Amino acid sequence: MSVLAQVTAPGEGTASPILSIDHQHAHPPLPVAPHTHAEPMLLWASTTAVTLRTVSHDWLVPPGHGLWIPGRVEHTGTTRHAGELCVIRFMATRCPIDWAQPTGVAVGPLLRELIRYLRAEPDAASRRHAEALLFKVLRPLPTHSIQVPMPAEPRLRTITERLIDSPGDQRELAMWAAEVHSGVRTLSRLFLAETGLTFSQWRTRVRVRAAVGHLATGASVKATARAVGYRKPSAFIAAFQRVTGQTPGTYGGE
């Protein structure tokens, strides 16, 4: 992973809550060994996708999304395809965000531009204004209740990771079975055993979770439905309500 740019905030004697902004280009596979860090950080998967694993959860960060990682939470991560990512490290004692668990965030146009602006090393007064605004627009995605259990079985892992990358993929289980050289019944049984869900149920959750990210950045319901694999908005709305108990409009897409 090569660092394209790094901005290091002034040291402890200043009021800046940002320690550094590292813009990196990932060349997969790039696994990172389990580790912890004292400071919280924001991982923004700009054009790549990242799998991050903690003791209790797998977090899958698709392109254009972010994940807040609190300090002292052990994790390991892997980039899944070539692309750019950005890591922002914050000073724990000066960061106003106190989320105790890794938390997905929507990286919309305003947050993207604020990060880029801060990377350009503005003067102290401008930096303070930009940092204050950054914390105001940094909001958790309401995806905590959308659990997407990840299987360990290699064939299932291949299928599920590809669907995370491309939730709009229309292939049914029979086509995936041919690709991973397995039987449909075998995969169907394994899906239920390892995730507690059928293939269709699992894929629906992946699509709805991806949809939340689109909606949070201002995409319409129609555009979001198309992006995550639904030809008809009505089918998307019904699936969304089954998973979340709410309509897509509740999450920001009208």
Task: Return the higher-pLDDT residue of 213 and 89.
Answer: 89
Residue 237: Cβ within 10 Å count? 16
Residue range 26-68, pLDDT digits in tens: 877 667 888 999 999 999 988 887 878 887 777 767 778 899 9
Query: What's the CA gap between 116 and 111, in Å, rounded?
Result: 9
Task: Give the total residue count for the chain.
Answer: 254
- Evaluate if residue 197 carries a pLDDT over 50: yes
What is the 8-class DSSP label of residue 1? -
pLDDT of residue 228: 96
pLDDT above 70 coverage of the chain, percent: 88
pLDDT of residue 59: 76
Domains observed in the chain: 2-137 (2.60.120.280), 154-251 (1.10.10.60)
Instruction: Write b or e for each residue in 128-151: b if 16 or more Cβ atoms lie within 10 A of its Cβ, otherwise e.
Output: eebbeebeeebeebbbeebebebb
